[in-house]
Structure 1
């Protein structure tokens, strides 16, 4: 399963251990949801300024957010895409993740892992617009994180 990682920021260090752990989070989420191992996900690390631009452009909200997901599986599937579906992009502001980790009193790696699984679930159609969806999504997130972060 291809996980394409791009680091478009230089404010928060990204090492191979973090990338490997997050790749494991994505793999665990896809297995949990019964997705093909060939599914492709792009994970993009940005800073708050870049995220604020995306948030304004796509959500008309001023300021950064922690994670945005851009799903590619909406609508009809193109012929020939059956073997290796491209699920989409998960964009994470590492500055916001670092800040939230401090606010929530847990480690940076745990926060980025949470944002990653949250993003994957959005790519797969989950949302948290109502209480039922929020509870279902949170339960899936914690189950997947429990499998990976031991």
Structure 2
């Protein structure tokens, strides 16, 4: 059986994203690359990616995580389907929300192309939907290694390279 990516709907809900005409295509490529690499069943699965602004993501962050501040990306894994759902109903993976201003600021501050940072955030959000996390050091390392491999396939440089160099400098 060949790989089937999840059906992904990208919803642009903030006008600020109009400055990034390729944002939807970047997100779709990143999700497909991530889905192809992870060991998760994505055929007949669906997810939504909401491209929002800082205000929208701040509201979500406050309501769902109790943190009254914007963040770059939030993931909301779907609940497991119930026995009452029809067999042919699509399997929802969940939703991802990405904040434009925070994403833009981080990309600029780190000297990264916006589309590279957006790809990273889409991959990161998707990995959360399929069960990856970074609550412990070992989980974080596994997730970051997978992100690096996925992003490399997209031609995106290692997003953690500067962080790794800084960590190494602190050790030395």
Q: Tell me, yes or no, whether TM beats 0.5.
A: yes
Give the one of 92, 102, 114 matched to 2:98.
Answer: 92
Please report the RMSD computed on the Cα atoms of aligned residues, expressed in angstroms.
1.8
Q: Which has the larger radius of gyration?
A: 2
Q: How many residues align?
A: 148
Give the one of 21, 33, 36 matched to 2:38.
Answer: 33
Distance 1:102 1:48 in 2: 16
Distance 1:23 1:77 in 2: 28
Superposed displacement of residue 14, structure 1: 3.6
Superposed displacement of residue 119, structure 1: 0.2
The residue that corresponds to 1:121 in the other structure is 127
Superposed displacement of residue 36, structure 1: 2.7
The residue that corresponds to 1:2 in the other structure is 7
Looking at both structures, which has the greater relative contact order when contacts are Cα pairs under 8 Å and sequence separation is at least 6? 1
CA contact (8 A) 1:31 1:37 kept: no
* 1:133 is the counterpart of 2:142: no
Superposed displacement of residue 43, structure 1: 0.7
The residue that corresponds to 1:66 in the other structure is 72
Give the one of 40, 45, 56 matched to 1:50.
Answer: 56
* 1:144 is the counterpart of 2:150: yes
| DSSP 3-state at the match of 1:25 | helix
Structure 1: gaps spanning 5 or more residues:
none
Distance 1:126 1:98 in 2: 25
Spell out, residue by residue over 1:108-140, the C-alpha distance to the aligned partner (whole angstroms, 9 max, x if none): 101111000000000011111110000000011
Distance 2:54 2:23 in 1: 19
